[in-house]
């Protein structure tokens, strides 16, 4: 299936992030969402791994089903927090046996959640780059890693953050997917700094369509991402107007992507929160022609 789309004569590639369901209801919602968003022909999709490795089985099961039933190129997230190297290798072997060949390799947050002190496992990976190296040694994994345009909250400064990304790129990562951000200048500065440090891999902007501004702010605070004041203005007075709120959310994300495209970017990773309508509304606004004929025909 073609994964590139034309938009004003340019190729645009998209990927989607999902999380593993925690209940039957969420499971049904995930598969409905995957079915809808698959029509946008993503280059690949990813499934997260719970804090402290808490969703090993649900992640594996969602990834396996995505690969076998949808044909989507699917990456499993994998963290090495709270795990020995043998534990991590065992998960990798399970992924391999299920046909997984794409991994998003991460250090991860402790089971207590973001912000809890990180203590490396005594016989675990001390650095995410070591995990990337272990995966690359298999010879057939496509490995993505994380990047933090506003720096990771634990990084003492931007140089330390960029050094970490460089180690992961040098270890063989194919691309970095960024934490979400809303200020494109911040992303552009980070990209320039990364390129100046000799990091050549794609650093794919992570785009978060805003399903709920209040919840987003809580989450953003914990992971060190800022939520600019202009977003308060855009969403002001819309608390009780879900349709208008959704339209503004789609506008905001589409405007951000359009601006990044003007700056030369052509690849975007969308955080779906396992919900299709807002993500589809964003992509509709961009006028992408990714949509399969079936969907485009149905919408016509």
Contact window for ligand FAD (CB under 6 A) among 147-155, 186-194, 226-234, 247-255: 147-155
Per CB under 6 A, contacts with ligand FAD among 48-67 are: 48-49, 51
Check if 258 is active-site: no
The alpha carbons of the chain give a radius of gyration, in whole angstroms, of 19
Catalytic residue among 17, 27, 188, 244: 17
Assign 3-class secondary structure to 51-84.
Answer: HHHCCHHHHHHHHHHHHHHHCCCEEEEEECCCCC
| Residue 64 vs 164, nearer CB to ligand FAD | 164
74 binds ligand FAD (CB under 6 A): no
142 binds ligand FAD (CB under 6 A): no
Using CB under 6 A, which of 15, 33, 64, 128 touches ligand FAD? 128
Nearest-approach distance from CB 160 to ligand FAD, in angstroms: 4
| Residue 44 vs 235, nearer CB to ligand FAD | 44
| Residue 147 vs 248, nearer CB to ligand FAD | 147
79 binds ligand FAD (CB under 6 A): yes
Give the whole-angstrom CA distance, residue 122 versus residue 132: 19
Give the whole-angstrom CA distance, residue 194 versus residue 220: 23
Give the whole-angstrom CA distance, residue 157 versus residue 171: 22
164 binds ligand FAD (CB under 6 A): yes
Strand pairing report for 74-79 and 44-47: parallel
Contact window for ligand FAD (CB under 6 A) among 24-32, 160-168, 191-199, 256-264: 160-168
273 binds ligand FAD (CB under 6 A): no
Q: Which phi and psi (to 5°) does residue 169 adopt?
A: -65, -45
108 binds ligand FAD (CB under 6 A): yes
Contact window for ligand FAD (CB under 6 A) among 106-114, 193-201, 248-256, 285-293: 106-114
Return the half-sphere exposure (C-beta side, CA atoms, 13 A cut-off) of residue 181: 22
Per CB under 6 A, contacts with ligand FAD among 12-41 are: none
Contact window for ligand FAD (CB under 6 A) among 23-31, 150-158, 226-234, 278-286: 150-158
| Residue 198 vs 287, nearer CB to ligand FAD | 198
* Tokens matching residue 110: 């402790």
Contact window for ligand FAD (CB under 6 A) among 101-109, 134-142, 188-196, 246-254: 101-109
Strand pairing report for 175-180 and 203-207: parallel
User: Which residue(s) pair with 267 in the sheet?
Assistant: 13
Nearest-approach distance from CB 296 to ligand FAD, in angstroms: 29
* Tokens matching residue 40: 């946008």
Query: By the criterion CB under 6 A, which residues form the site for ligand FAD?
Result: 48-49, 51, 77, 79, 104, 106-109, 118, 128, 146, 152, 154-155, 160-161, 164, 177, 179, 206
Which residues are part of the catalytic machinery? 17
């Amino acid at each position: 299936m073609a994964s590139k789309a034309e938009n004003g004569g340019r190729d645009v590639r998209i990927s989607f992030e999902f999380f593993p369901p925690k209940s039957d209801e969420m499971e049904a919602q995930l598969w409905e969402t995957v079915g809808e968003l698959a029509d946008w022909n993503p280059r690949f999709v990813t499934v997260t791994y719970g804090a402290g490795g808490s969703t090993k089985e649900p992640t594996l099961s969602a990834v396996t089903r995505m690969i076998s039933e949808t044909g989507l190129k699917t990456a499993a997230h994998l963290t090495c927090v709270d795990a020995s190297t043998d534990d991590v290798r065992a998960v990798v072997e399970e992924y391999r046996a299920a046909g997984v060949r794409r991994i998003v390799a991460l250090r991860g947050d402790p089971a207590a959640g973001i912000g809890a002190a990180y203590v490396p496992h005594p016989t675990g990976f001390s650095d995410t780059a070591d995990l990337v190296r272990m995966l690359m040694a298999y010879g057939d994994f496509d490995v993505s890693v994380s990047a933090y345009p506003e720096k990771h909250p634990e990084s003492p400064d931007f140089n330390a953050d960029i050094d970490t990304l460089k180690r992961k790129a040098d270890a063989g990562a194919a691309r970095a997917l960024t934490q979400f951000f809303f200020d494109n200048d911040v992303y552009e500065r980070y990209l320039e700094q990364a390129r100046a440090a000799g990091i050549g891999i794609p650093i794919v902007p992570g785009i978060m369509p805003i399903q709920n501004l209040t919840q987003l702010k809580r989450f953003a605070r914990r992971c060190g991402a800022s939520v600019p004041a202009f977003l308060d203005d855009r969403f002001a007075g819309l608390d009780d107007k879900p349709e208008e709120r959704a339209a503004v959310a789609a506008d905001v994300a589409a405007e951000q992507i359009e601006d990044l495209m003007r700056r030369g970017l052509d690849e975007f990773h969308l955080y779906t929160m396992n919900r299709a309508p807002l993500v589809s509304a964003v992509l509709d606004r961009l006028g992408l022609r990714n949509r399969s004929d079936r969907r485009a025909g149905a919408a016509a």
